[in-house]
Chains A and B, each alone.
Chain A
Amino acid sequence: MSSNPSLLQSLSPTGDADISLKARLGEVDASMRKPAMLFLVSAVFWLLLGTVFALVAAIKATNPDFLGGTEWLTFGRVRSAHLNAMIFGWGNNVIFAVAPWIMGRLSRARIRHTSILLIAGIFWNIAVTVGIFGILRGDMIGVEWLEMPSYAAPLIIITYALVGVWVIIAFRWRQTDHVYVSQWYLLAAFFWLPWLYTVAQIMLIFEPATGVVQSLTNWWFAHNVLGLWLTPIALGVAYYLIPKVLGRPIHSYYLSVVGFWALALFYNWAGVHHLIGGPVPAWVISAGTVASVMMVIPVLVVGINHHLTVVGLHKEGWASPTIRFVMFGAINYTFVSLTGSLMALRHVNEVTHFTHFTVGHAHHGVYAFFTMIMFGAVYYMMPRLLLREWPNAFLIKVHWWMAGMGILLMVVALQVGGWIQGLQMNALNEDGTPVYSSFIQIVENTRPWLWLRSLSGLMILIGHLAFGVNVFWMIFSRRRAGEQTAPTLLSPTTEQA
């Protein structure tokens, strides 16, 4: 513990006896405290801001005059600010808090060089702030999921590099023989994202590709941010937390490994299903459709595995905030992915494409699956890092019910509304004229569903406020775990005892 290895030494471990001792879990937790708190507090901030952006955009979608006179808050910009605040502000910050911590725990190695993570954290939040400011200001780039102006890109790439280097250090210093499946997922994700991001930046912004190759690159990137970044991280976290909380090993480790490689192989190709019917080479679309359908394999594997691990322990799971959130996410992973596979079929896509159905699907994936699992991880991680209890159980329940029911309402509203919208746009009379010849009529018919979406957004905002209050209450509370019997905490390590 005493000696502090240089960065170079860390990159190439030579076996200093003192520092290569297998760390106890409590020590790993303690070493991660500062960077995790930095990332987590930023994440909660972006989550709340992103929710407000979302609500403004949702209200604008039914009442366009709401804040209609302000250029900075016009729908197109608020919507993009919402997306970027959520993916890059909330999503990446919470990943940078949780993933290194789990990596450290699984590697049984203290987190070293936390300064790298701290610097990365500061860079990252500057980048997101600059990016979102740029979007609202009107420097938005017309590429979905890459709206941040190009002047934010260098900072983003530097941060990815810093965190990536750090994760490799943590992994190289592992004191365990076995590489657990979560580590696979995390390592792969940390490798995939910077690559994806850099290629997309080059091919779309610095040296734009020819014509519709841009669109192909765009959806290769955007779908893979979900598929090769958010998904493997959330699955890695679930593969760690479900067995960990329940004290029961994962049902079939073999299946989890099969699932990993199936995901790696198929998810890559799925993104082009966003261009079905579009002016792109037909064979690419076919490949995308095939890959989307093949995703059923890893999805069922993961679903079976998670479900069978919990079977028989439902009561215990229900009593654990972590399991409630993680299982909500895991179950929705199965649903959202199967919906996604269906949506890639040409005849289904003919209806759902260009409608709110897709918007519902995106929220289903990023929120009901990814975000809920990350909430669960935060509920597990915080007490261990701060060595104190969550201050209020009621707020956790408010958070779970509001976020959970809110997102389900949103998905149902957008997908039912979107399906109707799609049917009405395509409906033809026998003489070949559109049944709904007035486009405005179709727009009017989606309005009630968009109202429901605003309502669901309000529920989610309430949930997030409960979460935010609980987090800050916890950080600023003085109670120590030792002073009370701490159910969400483990017995303290020898060092602390």
Chain B
Amino acid sequence: MKSLPLIFLGVFFTLAFSWTGIVLTSQIQLKEFTPATPDLVDSQDQPAPGGKYLVDGETIKNTPGMTANPQPLVGEAQRGKLVYQQMGCLYCHSQQVRRQGFGADFERGWGQRQSVPRDYIEQDRVMLGTMRTGPDLTNVGLRYSELWQFQHLYDPQITSPGSIMPPYGFLFEVREISPLTGPSAEAIELPEAYQPPAGYEVVPSRRAKDLVAYLMSLHQDYELPEIKFTQ
């Protein structure tokens, strides 16, 4: 065992092999994906069966007049995603629904269908997550109101007593109610036990509003050519 080049060749080959297989092949496979309507039509606008874009050399396209999904994040929600990232939310929350029969994601109400690669093509940073210390958030935008989200972020015990989620009180400002303009329209309602001292109000900061906008934007409630709702 003296040959250095031989060792290097083997060592190089093994890693190149897995990179080609896992990363490169998937990239080639997925880079063609575009947002799609639930059903596809052929060049004569007749329904085209199957989830493929190209069948027997004929071009299949999205149904005209229908919305193609997924759609990219914009504005507040886009900024909110950065807050999600900076607070490390992904270490306790996943954003992927497993298929029916594999785990109990459907039964827990986390989704109506399995998540598929196309759901993520518009995301600049994909945070599928690997932990469910807290519930899955794929469709969290469909489950709660904005007020619930604000209260929950301010102190999770308000909405979910017994939760071990960290409180994000530092994303809110407790400030004196202005004697001139009166209580702010943005101030959040809180149950009695959590209310600030009299004459004060709790107002979400820019980041809290962005984060809630992001959470409210999370949904996979559309069908795609390759995946339909499971009932």
Interface of A with B (CB < 8 Å)?
Answer: 60-62, 64-65, 68-71, 74-77, 79-80, 138-144, 171, 177-179, 184, 187-188, 191-192, 195-196, 199, 203, 208-217, 220, 224, 228, 257, 261, 264-265, 268-269, 271-272, 274-275, 277-281, 284, 287-288, 346, 350, 353-356, 358-359, 425-428, 432-434, 439-440, 443-444, 446-447, 450
Given A142-B85, A187-B7, A425-B108, A65:B167 Cβ within 8 A:
yes
Residue of B nearest to A176 (CB): B2
Who on chain A is nearest to B129 by CB?
A: A354
Q: Tell whether B88 is near chain A: CB-to-CB under 8 Å.
A: yes
Query: A76 to B89, Cβ gap below 8 A?
Result: yes
**B interface, over-half SS:** loop
| Stretch of B61-69, B112-120, B179-187, B188-196 that contacts chain A | B112-120
Judge if B33 is at the interface, Cβ distance under 8 Å: yes
Q: Assess the B85–A196 pair: CB atoms within 8 A.
A: no
Contact of B144 with A by CB under 8 A: no
- Whole-angstrom distance from the CB of A136 to the nearest CB of chain B? 11
**Chain A residues within 8 Å of B96, by CB:** 277-279
CB distance from B6 to the nearest CB of A (A): 10
Query: A188–B108 contact, CB under 8 A?
Result: no
Contact segment of B17-25, B43-51, B210-218: B17-25
List of A residues within 8 angstroms of B103 by Cβ = 277, 350, 353, 425-426
A76 near B31 (CB under 8 angstroms)?
no
Closest 3 CB pairs of A and B: A76-B88, A268-B18, A142-B85
Are A268 and B14 neighbours in the complex by a CB distance under 8 Å? Answer: yes
- Which of A79, A203, A354 is in CB contact (< 8 Å) with B23? A203
CB distance from A82 to the nearest CB of B (A): 11
List chain B residues, Cβ under 8 A from A75. Answer: 88, 91-92, 166
Q: Which residue of A lies closest to B109 (CB)?
A: A434
Q: What are 9 pairs between A and B in contact, CB < 8 Å?
A: A71-B170, A75-B88, A143-B125, A208-B124, A211-B30, A213-B23, A279-B128, A284-B25, A354-B94
Give the residues in chain A near B15, CB-CB below 8 Å: 192, 195-196, 224, 228, 268
B119 close to A279 (CB less than 8 A): yes
B residues less than 8 Å from A184 (CB atoms): 1, 7
Measured in the bound complex, the distance between the Cα atoms of B136 and A355 in whole Å is 12
- Decide: B128 and A275 in contact? CB cutoff 8 A: yes
Q: Which of B52-60, B72-80, B156-164 contacts the other chain?
A: B156-164
- Cα A271 to Cα B19 in complex, Å, equals 11
Task: Judge whether B90 is part of the interface by a CB distance below 8 angstroms.
Answer: yes
Are B169 and A433 in contact, with the CB atoms below 8 A?
A: no
Beta-carbon contact of A199 and B19 below 8 Å: yes
Tell me the minimal C-beta distance from B195 to chain A in angstroms. 17
Which residues from 1 to 43 on chain B have a C-beta closer than 8 Å to any C-beta of chain A?
A: 1-2, 4, 7-8, 10-12, 14-15, 17-19, 21-23, 25-27, 29-31, 33
Q: Distance in Å from the Cβ of A472 to the closest Cβ of chain B?
A: 33
Contacting pair B130 A353 (CB below 8 A): yes
Residues in B with CB closer than 8 Å to A71 are 170
Q: Is the CB of A220 within 8 A of B22?
A: yes
| B98 at the binding interface (Cβ < 8 Å) | yes
Query: Distance in Å from the Cβ of B36 to the closest Cβ of chain A?
Result: 13
- Structural contact, A76 and B30, CB atoms closer than 8 A: no
B85–A271 CB distance below 8 A: no
Give chain B nearest CB distance to A324 CB in angstroms.
30
Residues in A with CB closer than 8 Å to B2 are: 177-179
Q: Is the CB of B22 within 8 A of A208?
A: no
CB pair B86 A210 closer than 8 Å: no
